[in-house]
A and B are shown apart, each in its own frame.
Chain A
Amino acid sequence: MIKKLYRWFTGHEEPTAAPLEVGGIFGRMTPEGMCEIDPKKMGPDEIRQRLAVLYKRHNHAAGSLDGELRKEAELMLDAIVHCREKYVDRV
């Protein structure tokens, strides 16, 4: 779908959330795996920040024109909320 087009010559920030591999294995992943968080190595603040980045991405994707991406985003939002409640706080 994407091919080389132009080179942008000013600086650019890399995304803070790495792309997630999703697909057939998605259903077998844990919420922690889906969110790429490791509670043994990350404190609540770090987890909160990671989840905030993911939430922004997938909340937007939940309104995508692409139906498959919308479904994937809803699954991710569930996983994000699960981790938030488990490691950060509950409403």
Chain B
Amino acid sequence: MSEKQAIYVGIDLGTSTSALAHVRPDGNPEIVPNADGERLTPSVVFFDRYEGVKLVGSAAKDGGDPDRTVRHIKKHMDDPSYVVEIDGEKWTPTEVSALILAKLRKDCARIIGQIDEVVITVPANFNELARKATVTAGRLAGLKVRRIVNEPTAAALYYAHTQGVRGRVLVYDLGGGTLDITVLDVDTDRIDILLSEGARHLGGSDFDEILLDLIAEKFREQNGRELVLDATQRRRLLAAAEDTKKRLSKLNVVSEKIGTEDYGLAEVELTRDSFEEAIRRLLTRTVMLLEQALDTLGLAPQDIDHVVLVGGSTRIPKVQELLTRHFGKAPVSCGNVDECVALGAALFAQRARRVSEVCNHSYGTLAIIEDAQTGIAKVRNSIVIPKNTPIPCSMSQTYITSEDNEELIEVEITQGDDPDPRYVDIVGKISLRVPPGRPAGCAVTVTYSYDENQRVRAQVYDEESGLRKDIAIEYEGAGVLNEHDIERKSAYLKQIRIA
């Protein structure tokens, strides 16, 4: 009897496209094509009106009613109130993502056998809610999500595996929806992440929106009419704008015939320069994030040995030019920029122990902070676990009660490193009832633990009474599923046809 061969599978659940990879017996990862023969599956879902089929991938992307087509759902994974409504049925971002994952699982299992455990990638800047939603999407799709890993970490692992590099690497991951910058030290196949910074809504789909506005302006100049009349048409035109953008990465000038004979035709000429000028402000944001990352680590550009490109939007020549200027050397491509995240995720599934990751956000609590010099007290965000602390970790801070007779100690759990409470998220709360009649000044210790799946637990401990309470962070909102929802939806998703 032979022992069952372990299957190491990684999934890049991307904003624009998704991919599944596994590690071959020779130790190298490879992409597993879907049932349509494609290595990359567009992250698009079409909700069929007649047979109730959920089309995922190119079949969903290339046709059909835009009102029944869901794109870029990943951009909403961190929004607790976001839902898509089709035929009166509400779909959370988690459920839509589960349809994409279910398609990958089903299609790829035909080639590599049953897939049980997977690693799924997420942007480094995903918050706790979006990470949890991603794990839940995997569960709904019938997958056991062993780990989630940051996309740049996965890409860096693949880069280190294929190039055999050593030294300090900066991964610049400009994808369909987000920019992630990760700095790491690579020593053969040992990887230590030093920092991850990210920017939301800064990626290819944002460039598409800007390019469509540019095209519409030129159409208006020629025809005196609006090209985009409603949201439905805009969605359709955005797909065309994405194709134009890709051509502009290869050609200096492209010409597009747009409109209809009835409404008016226009031949619009677009130059790469005009496109790059139009997206200049977003590119400035990318430079500012880059500077922030290096400043945080106290590094100069010349301290970086390798700048590695990941994500389809790094094909834009201006992006490469900016990086070359910033670092004084040309960035290198991580092989296929569209596939390296999935390939790295598969490697991560096999060798996670050789990768040291960091906490993606700061976690703290609201506390009255007294200025030692002025004596002025203000409510501030007091950090317990600073961002970029190596994980898993557990850290504590001790506070004292501020008033006499406090019977209820309430600890609000914050996410974010800004001292001003207005700019951090309250992601949870612990209430601990303590004996009455105590004076102010009783010591209370707050401990947060951050596990390797980047999930947070919090504990409050009252030292005098010995009472303690701990919680895992939970979220609420129309777009958030509870355990009951997950079980019910999981059963439902097993019954529907996904093609």
On A, residues with C-beta under 8 Å from B are 2, 4-9, 11-15, 19, 51-52, 55-67, 69, 74, 77-78, 80-82, 84-85, 90-91
Contacts and interface: CB of A to CB of B under 8 A. Distances in A.
Nearest to B127: A63
Contacts of B420: 15, 19, 57
15 contacts: A4-B379, A7-B400, A7-B402, A8-B399, A12-B372, A14-B371, A52-B288, A59-B200, A60-B417, A64-B423, A65-B78, A65-B80, A84-B284, A84-B288, A85-B284
A18 to B, nearest CB: 9
The 7 A-B residue pairs with the shortest CB-CB distance in the complex, in nearest-first order: A6-B399, A15-B419, A63-B200, A12-B369, A2-B379, A65-B425, A81-B284
Interface string B378-401: 011010000000000000010111
Given A59-B199, A90-B284, 4 more contacts: A7-B399, A9-B400, A52-B292, A85-B281
Nearest to B370: A7
Interface string B287-304: 111011001000000000
A7 B367 CA distance: 6
A56 B127 CA distance: 16
B81 interface: yes
B280 interface: yes
Contact of B425 (A51, A66, A85): A66
A15 to B, nearest CB: 4
Contact of A6 (B200, B291, B367, B475): B367
B153 interface: no
B422 interface: yes
A52 B368 contact: no
Contacts of B79: 65, 67
A7 B125 CA distance: 31
Nearest to A66: B425
B418 interface: yes
B459 to A, nearest CB: 15
Contact of B423 (A4, A69, A74, A90): A69
Given A11-B372, A60-B416, A5 B366 contact: yes
A63 to B, nearest CB: 4
B292 A56 contact: yes
Interface residues of B, number: 58
B418 A78 contact: no
A7 B289 CA distance: 34
Contact of B78 (A5, A51, A56, A63): A63
A9 to B, nearest CB: 7
Nearest to B381: A15
A4 B408 CA distance: 12
A17 to B, nearest CB: 8
Interface in B313-327: 318, 322
B273 to A, nearest CB: 13
Interface string B476-487: 000000000000
B268 interface: no
Interface in B72-91: 78-81
Tell me which of A62, A63, A66, A80 has the highest count of chain B C-beta atoms within 10 A of its own C-beta. Answer: A63
B491 interface: no
B427 A65 contact: yes
Interface string B417-456: 1111111010100000000000000001000000000000
B284 A91 contact: yes
Interface in B58-84: 78-81
A61 B292 contact: no
Interface string B188-205: 000000000011110000
B400 A6 contact: yes
B231 to A, nearest CB: 19
B109 interface: no
A4 B402 contact: yes
